[in-house]
Structure 1
Amino acid sequence: MTTPRVSYAHLLVQPNPKHVRSLVRFFEQGCSAPGTGGFGVEIEHLPVHNADDTAVTYGEPNGVEELLRRLRPYYDADQEYWQDDHLVGLGREGLAVSLEPGGQIETSIGILRKPEELLALHGRFIEEAQPILDELGFRLVNYGYQPKTSFADIPLNPKRRYAAMNEYLGRIGQFGPCMMRASASTQVSIDYTSERDAIAKMRLGTAIGPILAWFFRNTPYFEGARNPWPLCRQRMWDYLDVQRTNVTPGLYDERFSWEDYAADVLSTPLMFADLTHTPECKGRPEHELEFAAFCSNAADVYPDRELNAYEVNHVLSTHFNDVRLKNFIEMRHWDSLPVERAERLTQIVGDLFYDPERRGRLESYFSGLTGEDVHAAKAVLQSRGGDAKPYDRPMEYWAEVLGVGDTLDQVPGDAMRPEVRQG
């Protein structure tokens, strides 16, 4: 590997070069062979009571924890995840079930070779969960935000990192506690073949993601009332924490590299330090292995050596750009969707990113794009909705170019029962 360029010298806090190398090596190991790309899909579900559509919490009687406990027989014993005697995750081949801070239930599905495989794998999850849900008296809905309950009435689940995130995000920005407790998303991940391919896909995904978010919007409610924003999820994340969200800094600079992405991540406060897999810390008390790190970045927390895979994954997981780089590319723009719409979104992503001809046409259109152009497109979508002209083109144009014409009539649904539906 070549010596890292000093392209991040503007940073006030310099990252540890050994840490930079370990992230870059991690990205290199994620390269897949051309023509073998797959998909990963994450769908977060909001648990709501059948009686009144209010949020179901993790610790309440017959709540989210009880659902996980009853689902255990369907999953592998060696893929159970516990926190202080509380069950917080399950896994098996092709499917992992985990929790977001407010008890939202996330299904991570893949690796998929064809988008339509999503329906079968998610369908099995629902088939197993539905009889249990019926007994417990709640259901899982797909909205971008809880339909009735305010974030202030939803306690955090018992993962220690969420307590630290809550304190940190509650002190900055505008929507941290709302996002943590009451929002839900759909995320689609794709593969890359090289550094150049990864950066090109990140640029394209960052540019078109907000437009796709409009066509797949699914947030009818916010804080117990009608959602006032054309793109509620974008509004929350853009105003959450400028250090770790929105458009990746420098992404559209022609010199941008994996080293620059690594340096940006490593120079940002971790929020939460996790030393549970750091050999040098073996034997330390628990509170010294997991703790809040509001002002500390990776160089302050981890030893002066290359990071191991667990440490790398933790550091990368503390960043939330619109398009996130791991050993795959994760696009994070979209509201929680019913599985049929999530499958259609995955098809569209596959067509745009894995079809060389279609991708080439889009990349040609966006030649010379800047980060400021993307910010402007996001702003006009947020202010004008369907009347917007992102990148100086009307939404009808983008519907045709992106292949989403069949979704134009699929506006946010209303799965709430009529007697409790809100005005």
Structure 2
Amino acid sequence: MNTTRVNFAHLLTKPNPKHLASLMRFFESGKLQPNEYGYGVEIEHLPVHNSDDSAVTYWESNGIETLLKRLAPFYNADEEYWENGHLVGLNRDKVNVSLEPGGQVECSIGIFHTPDDFNATYESFRAQVDRIANELGFRLINYGYQPVTKFNDIPLNPKYRYESMNKYLGRIGSYGPMMMRCSASTQVSIDYTDERDSIQKMRVGTAIGPIIAWFLRNTPYFEGDDNPYPLLRQRMWDFMDPQRTGIMPGLFSPNFSWETYAIDVLSTPLLFADLTHTPEKRDSVPDGHVIAWHENAAEIYPDRDLNQYEINHILSMHFNDVRMKNFLEFRHWDSLPEDRARRLVDIMFSLYYNTENLGRLTSYFDGLTQLDVEATKSGIQANGAEATPYGQPMEFWQEFLGLEGLLTDIPGDPKHPDVFQA
């Protein structure tokens, strides 16, 4: 049995049985037949001033808060998200707009059922947001990290969870405040048929995610200088907080299951607890939010079945390379412009929704261990194009994974604003 980095915390802090059963039912609720499969895409955008490519913040005049208020008429008035008296999110059919800690604008779109559905919805979002942003003197760009501004010059937006995350991640890892304020990603979510299918997809996604990330890398700058890391996003998350980031502990063990995942999540300190939908805590926690750097779910939430809001919050405080909800969320990639994001969607459809391809990948990686994946991650960081993931050159993987034609150089340059566009 491969026990590398299995989280044994549950031996000391066993989850509440009702909480464990709640997560198991939640995972079960995601089971779909292949003809029902869909996908979702999240693209985070970096706001930069047109004048000098410096970061636009939430709080400045004509900044991100102003952008959201100008966008609001295009979204559902009864589905706005406010925290601390400030607008922080918008929603309408198939489009959710939210904020990352440093004011990065995230567009979550879906659920879609064919790759062709992506473009029209995303283009509609961009048409509206780009026009308003330009009137305010800035634009949204698709890079993995802010090109000019350093992290300590960007204030956090007013969402409750980010103050706690900032203090916690700033103390235990190397890159927490930088990731929060300056990074941006593209994430793709897909469906599964059952427990076995979901675990196969998680393992394959964890194995090949860093390779695909190499061919889609999109981060030329880091802290105002040239980026020294072939995969900066991976570097930041792997050195963030090993109890909740990187490879899911025990994923490649033959005994890994939904219960394993649920126990790990429920045993890990929450970091931050959202109790706004926990009636029992309403009087004792007036604003509904508490710091939970040491407390896990059993120590925070009541001894009862968890509701869906509580479940989603608990799962959202884990940031593994592939995250389990009642779907699978793949989190490896830098923020990508539309054409490259669409190519990523095509790749995901081909690899995960084509039975033959998924079977081929599952067979190829049979017997893989967590140490194998960690070695591949390190090899790409150390050797770049000369890396040999799982003993094969990059050219092999480009063909094997259907990555032909992907750019190997990062397009655009913030020093030339006419080129540096989304």
Same-fold call, TM cutoff 0.5: yes
Matches within 5 A, 1:149-160: 149-160=149-160
Deviates more, 1:128-137 or 1:257-266: 128-137
Contact 1:53 1:420 in 2 (8 A): no
Shift of 1:304: 1.0
AA aligned to 2:395 is E
Question: In the aligned structure 2, how far is the partner of 1:404 from the partner of 1:366?
Answer: 18
Coordinate RMSD, CA, aligned: 1.6
* Preserved CA contact (<8 Å) 1:191 1:328: yes
* Contact 1:52/1:420 (8 A) holds in 2: no
1:119, distance to aligned residue in structure 2 (A): 1.1
Distance 2:20 2:8 in 1: 11
What is the SS of the residue equivalent to 2:303? coil
Distance 1:181 1:332 in 2: 17
Counterparts of residues 282-361 of structure 1 (less than 5 Å) = 282-287=282-287, 289-361=288-360
Mark the runs of 5 or more structure 1 residues left unpaired by the alignment: 1-6
Residue 33 of structure 1: CA displacement? Answer: 1.6
2:351–2:401: 8 Å Cα contact kept in structure 1?
Answer: yes
**Take 2:29 and 2:158, find their aligned partners in 1: how far apart are those partners?**
33
Q: Percent identity?
A: 60
Paired residue type of 1:21? A
Give the letter for the 2:87 counterpart: L
Q: C-alpha distance in 1, partners of 2:43/2:305?
A: 33
**Which residue in 1 is equivalent to 2:84?**
84
The answer for the alignment partner of 2:4 in structure 1 is: none
Range 371-380 or range 8-17, more displaced: 8-17
What amino acid is aligned across from residue 255 of structure 1 in structure 2?
Answer: N
The answer to whether the Cα contact below 8 Å between 1:8 and 1:260 also exists between their aligned partners in 2 is no
Q: Given the superposition, is the C-alpha separation of residues 419 and 189 from structure 1 closer, same or farther in structure 2, using an over 3 Å criterion?
A: closer
Residue type of the alignment partner of 1:134:
N
Map of 1:189-338 to 2, 5 A cutoff?
189-287=189-287, 289-338=288-337
* Alpha-carbon shift at residue 130 of structure 1 (Å): 2.1
Which residue among 403, 416, 419 is the counterpart of 2:414?
A: 416
Give the direction of change, closer, same or farther, for the CA distance of 1:242–1:343 in structure 2 (3 Å limit): same
Give the match for residue 363 of structure 1.
362
How far off is 1:282 after superposition? Answer: 2.9
CA contact (8 A) 2:172 2:241 kept: yes
Count of aligned residue pairs for this structure pair: 414
What does the per-residue CA deviation read over 1:173-199, in whole Å, with 9 as the maximum and x for residues that have no partner? 100000000000000000001011111
Amino acid at match of 2:158: P
Equivalent residue number for residue 375 of structure 2? 376
- Take 2:162 and 2:10, find their aligned partners in 1: how far apart are those partners? 31
Q: Output aligned runs, 1:181-196, within 5 Å.
A: 181-196=181-196
Alignment of 1:86-165 (within 5 A): 86-165=86-165
SS of 2:35's partner is: coil
Question: Tell me, what secondary structure is at the counterpart of 2:189?
Answer: strand
What one-letter code is carried by the residue in structure 1 that aligns with 2:330? M
Query: How far apart are 1:147 and its partner, in Å?
Result: 0.3
Partner deviation per Cα, 1:344-395 (whole Å, 9 max, x = no partner): 0010011000001111111111011111111111110111011100000000
Amino acid at match of 1:418: H
CA distance 1:28–1:418, change in 2 (3 Å):
same
Q: Distance in 1 between matches of 2:298 and 2:101?
A: 27
Pick which of 77-86 and 311-320 moved more.
77-86
> Residues 420, 338 of structure 1: CA spacing in aligned structure 2 closer, same or farther, 3 A cutoff?
closer
- Deviation of 1:297 after TM superposition, in Å, equals 0.6
